[in-house]
Structure 1
Amino acid sequence: MNSSAGPNKKRLFVMNPVILVLGLISLFTDLSSNMIVPILPLYLTSVLHVQVGSIGIIEGIAESTASVLKLFSGMITDRLGKHKLLMLIGYGLSNLTKPLFALSASWTQVLIIRFSDRFGKGIRTSPRDALVADSTTKEERGKSFGFRRSMDALGAALGPLVAFGILATYKGNYRLVFWLSVIPGILAIILILFFLKEKDRSENVKQASLPKIGFKNLDRRFIWFSLIFTFFTVGNFSDAFLALRAQDAGMLPAFIPLAFFAMNLSSSIFSTPVGMLSDRFGRRSVLIAGLLTFATIYFGFGIVKSVSLVWVLFVLYGFYYAFTEGIQKAYIADIVPEGQRGTAMGTFNAMTGLAALPASIMAGYLWQTFGPMVAFSTSSAIALIAALLMIVLRI
């Protein structure tokens, strides 16, 4: 009995080399991205004098239009079996265009650059998720997706911390932050080029037919799951609005990157343990808990009036990410067979990504017309309905 327990315990601390490299790629890419994300809405409003409604349009178009590519990149990766090539193109485009924010002088220029960044994400996300799924067993899939998400969140935590240091040292020099974001981005590209390995799938690819767009031949649970989370995404608007809400509640702009650091640090700490928890007790209950957490936090953002409570909400928001981001992908990998996962991941990513367009536009409209409380409360109600659907339909 003891001899069998030993290897099992050891495997808790052993990580597949492919997953480890993917985690490092995510870390550096999100470090680069999140040097920019917390300060971009502040740059838009304070330097370029852009209205909140326009920020909603920027975020909605960038996320939604580019997300269509997640579907096609998933189809292509199933057809060609070239995870690494598509990832190199996607990560390369994102990491090399973000510094161009430093040259922007209007919100339309910011939209183009933001679109290019998300265009790259649309290319890379589905093949990356398919590579994670194909490189692991079902028994360790939650841990693997959780680890990649943890590294993703760690980079997302370090990015705002670096941005805060630069802004504090160079007196609010937003453009310098944009330029320096290229450094971790280049490190991510180097990792893909020289350290990422993928197994040969040429035999499977030769026998595979071109995947079709949509739900054909995919599990019923996957269909309902995708529809429910697409509905939820309509209420899950861009995190850029969290930065504006923090400022609206009285937080000094220089400290807003630190709030994002706290959020992403909590997500990084809890993503791997929560992923392992889903391996043991099932993905569904964990995802429902994540939706309920989101509903509570967004209601809190709607009514918050003190800076101290804003800090608490940001930390708790990291819990929501830990309970949903990696677990969604692990759940899909569980119910969709190898050879169709790229298409399934792409379909799911495209549907939820397209829902981000009305989400951010709706948020901007509700905020400008009725105030932030109505915008956040509406999102909270949508999350509650999504959780109820998961329970009633037993997805």
Structure 2
Amino acid sequence: MWKTLRSLPRTVWLIGLISFVNDSASEMLYPLMPLYLASVLMAGPKALGLIEGVAEATSSIFKLVSGVIVDRTKRSKPWIVIGYLLAGIGRPLIALASSWTWVLLIRFTDRLGKGLRSSPRDVLLAESVPADQRGITFGLHRSMDNAGAVVGPLLAALLLSLNVPLRDIFLWAVIPGVITVVLALCLKEPAREASVIPKKFTWSMEGLPPQLRRYIFVVGLFALGNSSDMFLLLRARDAGVPQEQIPLLWAAISLITTIFGTPLSALSDRFSRKYFILIAWLAFAFFYMAMSLPNIAIWMICGLFGLYGLFKAATEGVEKALVADLAPPGMAGTAFGWFNLISGVMLFPASFIFGWIYESYSPTYAFLFSGSCALCALVLLAIWVFRANAPNQTA
């Protein structure tokens, strides 16, 4: 694995570095959002669910748009630069928000930037390496991304321990925002094959193979149960985890994902990717079912959050590598666009429904709903997407 890592091209490492810096800023603020909304703007779980749902749905729609544009223009870099620029502008503005509706608008801008950059970035990664290095490439990217998610919460915990106001912490995000834009300007486009996509784009997934369509559909069902991770932090706080330890708990998840993301994804280059995804989705369902326990202890939450980190490590890179495996030549942008659209747009109903159940009934029913969606998706993935007559999906 180490020899393969050293042989990866400069573009892969540069994209990983950009994601590291960007996520250091993003994840410094992410675990503070529920606290900021609740303690400063006096907004509850319903508002949180609406904000995250709208933000992620926006991101998902533009992931498809940018993916299709990349297939037609054969250029990824401009959209990556614009995406990081919008994120760098939007995040610090949360400090100036006077109500949760302003936070909604700012999060919309931030997620618009993510939507414009994500599919072009995934295409750039997939086309920078041969097929038998896709797993380790996406795994490395996710590991470096999650390394930033370790640094960010640690910075947040440090600033909170120094009694820095929540509003001021959001202002610090402007510095990494500038750095990511400068680094993105240093990216270079790879040589690309001639396009074989349909001349006119349609919303019917024209040109994508049936197995990829089935896979995207099941990913959407799974995403219906995968609401915003902010609810996990809210659940931890409600269960008695001290406020100053919430960022540390989130950092621990990211650390586990950072350590195990690359080696697990690298293994998927040698063995069937489907087993990694099936086992990880089963772990996710168990995690949400266990989090539904009414009187869950803090030590149980810590252990379950560790399991959640392993789930993320085993899926974040492998799921995207499988999309690249199934995508036809010249349609990687469209394939990633549809994958990102469906998996992300479902976060709106997922977060809204989860927040509504959480506040109107109880956290128990909310987590049971998510776990049930995951189990249904797991069954369909095993018997419908990875059926016996389908080709074994390895790189």
Structure 1 residue aligned with 2:330, among 336, 339, 355? 339
For the residue of structure 1 that corresponds to 2:206, the secondary structure is: coil
Residue deviations 1:267-290, cap 9 Å, x none? 111110111111111111111111
The answer on 1:319 being equivalent to 2:316 is no
How far did residue 65 of structure 1 move?
Answer: 2.6
Contact 2:197 2:331 in 1 (8 A): no
Q: Which residue does the alignment assign to 1:193?
A: 185
Matched, 1:68 2:57: no
Which amino acid is the alignment partner of residue 264 of structure 2? V
Partner of residue 146, structure 2: 153
Change beyond 3 A, Cα 1:9–1:354: closer
Q: Distance in 2 between matches of 1:135 and 1:186?
A: 25
* Pairwise CA distance, 1:352: 1.6
Q: What amino acid is the match of 2:226?
A: N
Q: Give the secondary structure class of the aligned counterpart of 2:194.
A: helix
Deviations 1:192-223 (A, max 9, x none): 113x112244x736998454433211111100
| CA-based RMSD | 1.7
Cα distance in 2, alignment partners of residues 295 and 206 from structure 1: 39
Distance 1:204 1:314 in 2: 45
**Equivalent AA in structure 2 for residue 236 of structure 1:** N
Give the C-alpha shift of residue 341 in structure 1: 0.6
Aligned match of 1:330: 321
- Tell me the equivalent position of 2:256: 266
Q: Is the 8 A contact 1:75 1:210 kept in 2?
A: no
Give the letter aligned to residue 197 of structure 1.
K
Output the amino acid matched with 1:318: G
Amino acid of the residue matched to residue 67 of structure 1? Answer: S
- Select 2:284's aligned residue among 276, 294, 304: 294
Unpaired segments ≥5 residues, structure 1: 1-7
Q: How far does the alpha carbon of each residue in 1:281-324 deviate from its partner, in whole angstroms, 9 at most, with x for none?
A: 11111111111111111112211622222222222211111111
Task: Report the secondary structure of 1:37's partner residue.
Answer: helix
Matches within 5 A, 1:218-367: 218-303=208-293, 305-367=296-358
Determine the structure 1 residue equivalent to 2:389: none
Q: Secondary structure at the match of 1:38?
A: helix
Gaps of 5+ in 2: 387-395
Q: Is the 8 A contact 1:233 1:356 kept in 2?
A: yes
Decide whether aligned partners of structure 1 residues 361 and 78 sit closer, same or farther in structure 2, where only a CA change above 3 A counts.
same
In the TM superposition, residue 158 of structure 1 has moved relative to its aligned partner by 1.0
Deviations 1:240-277 (A, max 9, x none): 10111011000111110000000001011111011111
Does the aligned pair in 2 maintain the 1:164–1:254 contact within 8 Å?
Answer: yes
**Matched residue, 1:137:** 130
Deviations 1:228-247 (A, max 9, x none): 01011111100110111011
Aligned in 2, Cα 1:47/1:240: closer, same or farther, shift over 3 Å? same
Q: State which drifts further: 212-221 or 334-343.
A: 212-221
> Is this contact kept in 2: 1:80–1:205, CA < 8 A?
no
Contact 2:195 2:329 in 1 (8 A): no
Q: Is 323-332 or 203-212 further displaced after alignment? A: 203-212
Instruction: Provide, for residues 34-56 of structure 1, a one-character-per-residue CA deviation record: whole Å limited to 9, x for no partner.
Output: 01110011110111110211111
Within 1, Cα distance between the matches of 2:124 and 2:51? 30
| Equivalent-residue separation in structure 2 for 1:95 and 1:129 (angstroms) | 20
The one-letter code of the counterpart of 1:256 is I
1:191 aligned partner, one-letter code: L
Q: Residue 181 of structure 1: CA displacement?
A: 1.4
Other-structure match for 1:180: 172
Counterpart of 1:38 in structure 2 is 31
TM-score normalised to the size of structure 1? Answer: 0.94
Change (3 A) 1:392 1:120: same
Q: CA deviation at 1:186?
A: 1.6
Does structure 2 retain, via aligned residues, the 8 Å contact 1:79–1:211? no
Regions of 4+ moved over 3 Å: 205-214
1:224 CA drift (Å):
0.5
Quote the residue 1:5 is aligned against. none
Cα distance, 1:381 vs. partner?
Answer: 1.2
In structure 2, the CA distance between the partners of 1:9 and 1:191, relative to structure 1 (3 Å rule), is closer
- 1:104-130, Cα deviation, whole Å (9 max, x unpaired): 110000000111111100100110011
Percent identity (aligned): 41
CA contact (8 A) 1:214 1:347 kept: no
Q: Secondary structure at the match of 2:292?
A: helix
Gap change, CA 1:87 and 1:254, over 3 Å in 2: same
Amino acid at match of 1:163: A
> Quick one: distance in 2 between partners of 1:182 and 1:312?
34
Give the match for residue 369 of structure 1.
Answer: 360
Alignment: residue pair count: 385
Asked whether the 8 Å contact 2:197–2:330 carries over to 1, the reply is no
The match for 2:205 among 192, 197, 215 is: 215
Contact 2:58–2:115 (8 Å) recurs in 1: no
Contact 2:124/2:190 (<8 A) preserved: no
